[in-house]
Structure 1
Amino acid sequence: MRVLVIEDNEDLRLAIGGSLRGAGFAVDSVGDLPQADEALTVNAYDCAVFDRMLPSGDSLAYVRRNRPSVPVLFLTARDSVADRIAGLEHGDDYLVKPFAMDELTARVRSLCRRVSASLPPVLRCGDLEIDVGRRAVRRAGVLLTVTPKEFMVLELLVLRQGAPVSRTELVEYAWDEHVAPASNVLAGVIKQLRKKLREPEMIRTVRDHGYTIGPA
């Protein structure tokens, strides 16, 4: 499994790389967003570890803008509720500094396993199509712009289409077992997905159970 580390502090970058290599990962490391952009364009990774605030810019803004087709773990000293929610909405996990290297390694391994899980290359539900490899979503042939969290929630709903998926299952699938989003975050993701999928509505609320998706 191959990991990209983006961290401007050289000592920390070397420490993270050494810890991940010691756990069996192949690691590339860079110090700024332009280098990260080049690496993500040229190479295939199973996970990217972004320091949140870099001299070259806010990595969350970069991820939001570019939507890299790889799970993202943010490292951040910003631990307010708003910052944590933003990190969970636009990335796949976050870790507040200072952190234990063993915990970082465990979270990276979890994200890499998520990618390597056996899934069909393309998932379909009516006129909705999810390209798992490219992390692209189309409805009626139209490409939709979705966040990483929206993609994961939609992916699980389509994998289980026709059956209700509980809120707990969606949270565990999209946010990783180490973290729990604020209670209203999942509802917000569902609301945005409904808006982006447009009419006729596909995602339905199942009272006391969660959500389900099916052809309109």
Structure 2
Amino acid sequence: MEKLLIPAILFAACWAKPEDLSGKVFVFSKETDNAHVKLLTSRDNFDSATVCLKFLTDLTRMYGLFSLSTASHSNAFLLFNPDDRNTIEMAITSTSIHFRSLLFPENTWHNICATWNSNNGVAQLWVDGKPSVRRFVDTRSIIGEPITIIGQEQDSYGGSFDKQQSFIGMISDIHMWDHVVPPSEIKRYAGGQNFKPGNVFNWRALEYEVTGRVFVEDETAVM
């Protein structure tokens, strides 16, 4: 038995090796209640955070963009479009706020960054390099081991997906930091310039698992 276990352990270690996804995109091609990408990290317990990603979709219904849950909060850090093309719902420890009057034309690449600081509970969105108002959401820290899902919205810790909330389109350049990234760095991200990558999730060294019909393709092949 020991001789059989060693190769399995080595295979798992190799499979979990971070992958540079520069120039790549996740393609979510079908409405489904199971296809998703799980982002892997050893980090937990966040007092502040910034999440950035780029996406393209033609959906006019609700859909999730970024879903981080913990055992105590299914919406520990959530970015969600609630059936309104000009609104993004942001949730921290299951407390939600809505950023309105945003512009998301269909079939157009957009980038979005969300910042939050538990010291004052204030959150802010940046859409295509333009900042929103700053709004209070929650001062409670995100505590516990996170499960982070792209392509679905978690209604329970790691599951309870609804296909009517599934994302269809493409997502790329996902980064997450355990602090509030300064505006100068967010503008560099939005402008496609060099920036300091995320220390929680880093698109240039990403550990992830794919479930269902999600594909990793060259960005040039889908533009």
Q: What TM-score does the superposition give when structure 2 sets the normalisation length?
A: 0.27
Greater per-residue strand proportion: 2
Greater per-residue helix proportion: 1
Q: What TM-score does the superposition give when structure 1 sets the normalisation length?
A: 0.27
Structure scoring higher RCO (CA < 8 A, sep ≥ 6) equals 2
